[in-house]
Each structure stands twice: as structure tokens, then as C-alpha cells.
Amino acid sequence: MAREFTSVGVVGLGTMGAGIVEVFARNGIDVVAVEISDAALDRGQAILTGSTDRAVARGKLAEADRDALLARITFAVGLDALHSVDLVIEAVPEHLDLKQRIFAELDRVCKPEAILATNTSSLSVTEISVATARPNQVVGIHFFNPAPVMKLVEVVRTVVTSADVVADVEALCERLGKVDVTISDRAGFIANALLFGYLNHAVDMFESRYATREDIDAAMKLGCGLPMGPLALMDLIGLDTAYEILDTMYRRGGRDRRHAPVPLLKQMVTAGLLGRKSGRGFYTYERPGSPKVVPDEQTPTTTEPALTDTAVSKVGIVGSGTMATGIIEVFAKAGYEVVSVTRGAEQSAKVFEAVQTSLNKGVVRGRLSEADRDAALGRINWSATLDHLADVDLVVEAVVEELSVKKALFASLDEICKPGVVLATTTSSLPVIEVAMATQRPADVVGLHFFNPAPAMPLVEIVRTIRTSAETIATAQAVSATLGKTGVVCGDRSGFIVNALLFPYLNDAVRMLEASYSTTDDIDHAMKLGCGYPMGPFELLDVVGLDVALAIQRELYLELREPGFAPAPLLEHLVTAGYLGRKTGRGFRDHTRR
């Protein structure tokens, strides 16, 4: 007979505990919510009323339902109040000794048949369970932040957890409207094991001034469609909690350097900058607990970058591939006079047709008038010789991704173009400084990394080499803005911001699959439902192409020499086998049968 859960207990009403209480009470289950002191209880209660009041204000919860929800909760100080509940979920700070003490106490207080669950993100559920005399009734129930919103629950089964306990907890998750993935006890489980290396890397980029907090966050939101940037997410998680999770993952997860907390994190925690909950973390908030970011001394001034005397009106675009075609369309639509240079009339005709087809689609969808389409096409001049770039103000190079080809091209541009012109490369993996040094004017050379498809993707990475001048960067920013794109500035390292943060995460997902820890479906689910990613890692890899992912991952590994960046053998084997993703019909999934 499956257990009936009519009342549950929640220990600790912080960021997670308060949300977990709300989840149960919303679903008609009585909750006993306990804290360590009256003051902490008041804080927890305030989080709950704040969250339910917001739900009422947004029309997501009726007032009567909120009142009924709150009436189901009993608040108390101390664990004794939990004597008759059917299940307890512990959500106290991420310290093993604290959790073990609480479990030993719960074991004494709770009725014998009660299930004891921990919401730990990284500690060993097994080690917590052995603090009790009923380890077979101990399980991990890992909710995601914010608990009332995120659909995923990771159910963590240890080697001693009874099968019926797991089954009952899975049924409970379903009743709560959650999707569960059941996994064994490994540091970080699925989602955090894939998430925290990425978050730590983003903090490292910030600490080393590789890019600003706003640019790092904008890059991941706009480049990958994530609901929040990594630094804003750290603030939501809580920097103290994030620090503990990283520290545990480092120690439990094979001492992967990528999990060693970046020193800045420890400093911020020590200084009381814990994120949203303390009102200040990477960003500053209106008040403690508020989600509203307010300007501080790091906030960039909002004045539009001025189009100074380097004003750009005529742009040369070199290349005839997917990226060049998209970039020609973007500039022509934004009102620039464009000179397209390809290797011959045949290529130019092909590009013209592609641009025309894409603009026609815009007309059919009502996004562009026929007159604007014709005007955009009329602004493009077609050429097969670089000599026509003698009077342009900006050149964007988007030829094949080979250093020797790009260097030769930049040497020619250096001879042909007038002084003061900005020379940009769209390379996604080569060092921009290499092409800059092929010219006599490296201060004028910059990376302009567009994303595919260029007309649709709102992000441009503006890559500053150690020789790029401030004026060149300002021009690149101004041009990005007039194209309607968000330009983020970063240093000249392999992968810039987006690929450097995205691909190691994808590679880690492949390693997790390779280790048989979980399945493609569960890993994809975990990242979509637990972290709000628009696609799971395997869905994305199949779209991007496994060969492309492998090439980028190799570049990152070769440049940064980070052992954790070594391409997963499974990725290499799939590429060798010709399983490249959607484009060949098969990658991690078989697309021919769908």
C-alpha cells in the first residue's frame, strides 16, 4: 500500500525551504514549518507571504486560495513539532555536520514510519542517512529554485533506500505537479553537476575582468536563450550556498579544478554579499530579498555610445557563406550602404538570392514592407574584388575559419582600405590578435562575433585584443547598437564569452551520459525543467552539430589546457562514426524515425 502523505514537515525556511512549504500547501497538504529561532521564523514567514501575495497580485492565485494555503501551515521553533508528520524535508544550510545532527534528531522525534528527506544540492545523501537508525527511509528530494515555479525534482536514491520509499516519493512528486528524475547519490546529481562548473567559470571571467557582469549575463541570455545570466543566477541561489555546493563538489567530485570556488566568491561571502537575500551580491537589490536590481557604482552609464567622427556609413563584407549572407542582410536592412565581396560572380549571385529570399520571408510575415525590402537590396553593391573596399568605413570579414586565409585577407585589406577604417573579423575560434598583427594597424582591428542566424540573433560579441584601441571598441559598440543588437565586450580568448561557457557544459553532459549516470532524456529534462534552459544539452548538440561542438571544445582545451575541457571520448566516437546530429539524421538521437 502506498503511503498517504497528509502532513509534511519542512526544516529551514530560507531561499529553498520557504518555497518548498508553499509547494506542499498549494497542493492541499498540511505543513509544519520549523526554524531555529523566532527571528528566523519571522523571516521565513515573510518570504512566504511575499511570494503568495505576488502570486495574488499577478492573478495566478485567488485570494481565498492564498488564505487556505496559509491556513494549512503551522509555524514552530525546534524539531519537536514534527512528531506526527509523514515526511520531513530538510532545507538548512549546506553543511554535512549540521545536516547529520538534524537527521539524528529527526530520527528521535519523528514517528518510525516517517520518511526523512534532504534537499541537499551536493552533499552525500548516504552520509546524511547513516546519522539515523533508518537509512532505508532516507532519500534526497532536490527541488529547484524558485521551488513553486521550477517543475523538476531530482529524487536521490542511496544504495540502502527502500524501493517502496522511492516509489512513494515519486508518486508524491507527481501529485505536486512536478516531473521527477530518479538518480543515484553523486555530487551535484544531474543539474548542479552540469550547472556549477559553468557558474564558477562565469565568476572567474568576472573576477579577471574578462567582461563586465552585465555583458557576461547578457551574452548567455541573448546568445543561448537562458532565462537569466550566470551572475544573476548566483545571486538568486545565494553566494554562501553556491560556495558550499562548489566546495563539496570539488571534494566529492574528483577534485575537478573547475569546481574549486573562485576566490572572489569566498571574499563576497565573508563580506556578507550573499546575493538577493542580503540585498547585494554581484548586483545590488532594492532591499534584502527583493528581486529588483538597482543601479550601483558598477552600472554602466546609459548614454548611447556616440557615433563620433568615426561614423560608419559604408560597410564592406567579405565572404559568401551562411554568416556573410546573414550579416549582409543585417547591415543592408539597418540602412548601411554595403559592398559585398565574394570570390566570383557565381558566389555573388548565390548570396544575392539567399538575401532576397530571406527578405521576402520578412515581407510575407509582415515584418518588412516591400519598399523597405527593395531599398535594402538596392543598398548592396556586388563585387568580386577587394579593390572596391577602398572607401568603406568598416570591413566585416566572414570567410572560411582558417587562420592562413584570414591573415592573407587582412594583409590585403591593410593595403587597400583607407586609414581609420575599422577592420572586423567574425571568427568564432581563432585569436583576433593573429589577424590584427597581419596588418600595420592592429589598433583598428576588432572581433565582431555574430550568431547564427545573424538576422535573428540579438547578440554580437565585440572582441578586444591587447592592441585594439578604445575608439575602435566605441565604433563597434555604436554599430552594434544601430543594428539593433546588444554588443558585449570581451577579451580575446578562445570561445569569447558564450562558447567558452556553453561548450564545456555540453561536453560535461556527454561525459555524464558516458558514465551511465543518467539518460539523454533525463539529462535534457533536468536542464529544461530544473534550470529553464530552452533546450536540453543533447537536443542542442544535435542541432549545433557534433563535429562543430567537438572542434570548439578542442580549441578551448588546447588554449586553456584545462583537463576538464578535454573532449569527451563519446563525442569523438560519434563524430568519427558520422553521427553529427540533425544534419546527418543521427546524433545523440535518431532523427530519421521521428
Ligand X SMILES: NC(=O)c1ccc[n+]([C@@H]2O[C@H](COP(=O)([O-])OP(=O)(O)OC[C@H]3O[C@@H](n4cnc5c(N)ncnc54)[C@H](O)[C@@H]3O)[C@@H](O)[C@H]2O)c1
Edge-first strand order for the sheet with 87-90 is 73-77, 30-35, 7-11, 87-90, 115-118, 138-143, 152-157, 179-184
At closest approach, how far in Å is the CB of 174 from ligand X? 20
Span of 233-241, 335-343, 362-370, 481-489 interacting with ligand X by CB under 6 A: 233-241
Smaller CB separation from ligand X, 241 or 499: 241
Q: Which of residues 76-95 bind ligand X (CB under 6 A)?
A: 91-94
Smaller CB separation from ligand X, 18 or 476: 18
Chosen residue from 5, 10, 12, 106 binding ligand X by CB under 6 A: 12
Q: How many whole angstroms separate alpha carbon 412 and alpha carbon 415?
A: 5
At closest approach, how far in Å is the CB of 237 from ligand X? 4
Residues 37-66 as x/- pattern, contact with ligand X by CB under 6 A: ---x---x----------------------
Chosen residue from 9, 238, 326, 537 binding ligand X by CB under 6 A: 238
**Largest pairwise CA distance in the chain:** 85
- Could you give the C-alpha distances from 64 to 61, 67, 68, 153, 273, in angstroms and in order? 8, 5, 6, 28, 37
Span of 139-147, 281-289, 402-410, 580-588 interacting with ligand X by CB under 6 A: 139-147
What is the β-pairing status of strands 138-143 and 152-157? antiparallel
Smaller CB separation from ligand X, 228 or 260: 228
Span of 10-18, 162-170, 210-218, 431-439 interacting with ligand X by CB under 6 A: 10-18
Active site residues: 121, 142, 154, 192
Smaller CB separation from ligand X, 134 or 276: 276
Q: According to the binding rule CB under 6 A, does residue 237 interact with ligand X?
A: yes
Q: How many whole angstroms separate alpha carbon 249 and alpha carbon 239?
A: 15
Q: Which of residues 16-35 bind ligand X (CB under 6 A)?
A: 16-17, 34-35
* Amino acid letter for position 350: K
514 closest CA partner among 578, 590, 569: 569
Span of 238-246, 357-365, 372-380, 583-591 interacting with ligand X by CB under 6 A: 238-246
429 closest CA partner among 510, 500, 328, 485: 500
First to last CA, the chain: 39
> Residue written as cell 523538476?
152
Residues 264-303 as x/- pattern, contact with ligand X by CB under 6 A: -------------x--------------------------
At closest approach, how far in Å is the CB of 386 from ligand X? 53
Span of 11-19, 124-132, 175-183, 327-335 interacting with ligand X by CB under 6 A: 11-19
DSSP letter (8 states) at residue 280: B
Chosen residue from 121, 200, 428, 520 binding ligand X by CB under 6 A: 121
At closest approach, how far in Å is the CB of 167 from ligand X? 23
Q: Residue 7 CA to chain centroid, in angstroms?
A: 36
Smaller CB separation from ligand X, 109 or 571: 109
Task: Compute the radius of gyration of the chain from its Cα atoms.
Answer: 27
- Cα angle 537, 541, 542 (rounded to 5 degrees) comes to 120
Residue nearest to ligand X (CB): 14
- Region of residue 62 (phi > 0: left; psi between -120 and 50: alpha; otherwise: beta): beta
At closest approach, how far in Å is the CB of 196 from ligand X? 11
Side-chain-side CA neighbours of residue 166 (13 Å):
17
Residues 179-218 as x/- pattern, contact with ligand X by CB under 6 A: ----------------------------------------
236 closest CA partner among 326, 145, 141: 145
Element (H, E) at 246: helix 239-252
Q: According to the binding rule CB under 6 A, does residue 141 interact with ligand X?
A: no
Interface contacts to ligand X, rule CB under 6 A? 11-17, 34-36, 40, 44, 91-94, 102, 119-121, 142-145, 237-238, 241, 245, 277
